[in-house]
Amino acid sequence: MTTSPDPQLVLVRHGETAWSLSGQHTGTSDIPLTPHGEEQARAAGVLLASRVAAGQHFRTVLTSPRARARRTAELAGFGDAVVDENLAEWDYGPVEGRTSAQVSAETGTDWEIFRDGVHAVGPEHAAVPHPTAGETLDDVAARTARVVERVLPALEDGASALVFAHGHVLRVLATTWLGLPATTGALLELGTASVSMLGFGHGIRTLEGWNQPSGA
């Protein structure tokens, strides 16, 4: 007699884009996957299919509204993923399109987004026109709390949930799941098209696997 795997919240970061390669912050900009990013997404799909074959059931499948995340979901075999606006990447405001090194040079500091936020650079220095001042880390954490609330019913019923999104918002989502300060997300690097697993152990929320490469 076989038993179903324990319920998990599985996180998939979108595949490679030109801006993920260059290190430019990509929030609201809809930068497409590179050809290699598409290969990564398909490879992530193979990994996910193996988990399904082993008995994992994804009752809830969600995706960020950004095209790079939706395309990753599609190529991974989950083209029916439901868009959840709360999974959109951090709105970087004036930091959009800039690298950390560029922001550090302009501010004269060793800028780090989880510690310093996105308001360190004034809108007059924005790399691309942007209509907002951007989000705070607390804003992003509030959105991830809503994602957790949405997927919990499936997990509590013994099924799993799967989300396709972005590096920073998924790192914050992990801290929300674990009950840690959102700033802890600075310690949780995520590669493109990586797969991570959150779950339960001994009655508490746990980190069961992190930043597993898709293999492409």
* Residues taking part in catalysis: 14, 89
Q: How far apart are CA 7 and CA 161, in angstroms?
A: 8
Q: At CA 40, angle to CA 51 and CA 24, rounded to 5?
A: 125
Q: What does R_g of the chain's alpha carbons equal in angstroms?
A: 17
What torsion, rounded to 10 degrees, do the Cα atoms 71, 148, 20, 119 define? 130
Q: What is the 3-state secondary structure (H, E, C) of 64-90?
A: CCCHHHHHHHHHCCCCCCEECHHHCCC
Measured in whole angstroms, the distance separating CA 3 from the mean position of its chain's CA atoms is 29
Phi-psi region of 157 (alpha: psi -120 to 50; beta: other; left: phi over 0): alpha
For residues 175 and 200, the answer to whether their CB atoms sit within 8 Å is no
Q: How far apart are CA 166 and CA 190, in angstroms?
A: 9
Instruction: Tell me the DSSP string of 15-35.
Output: --BHHHHHT---SSS-PPBPH
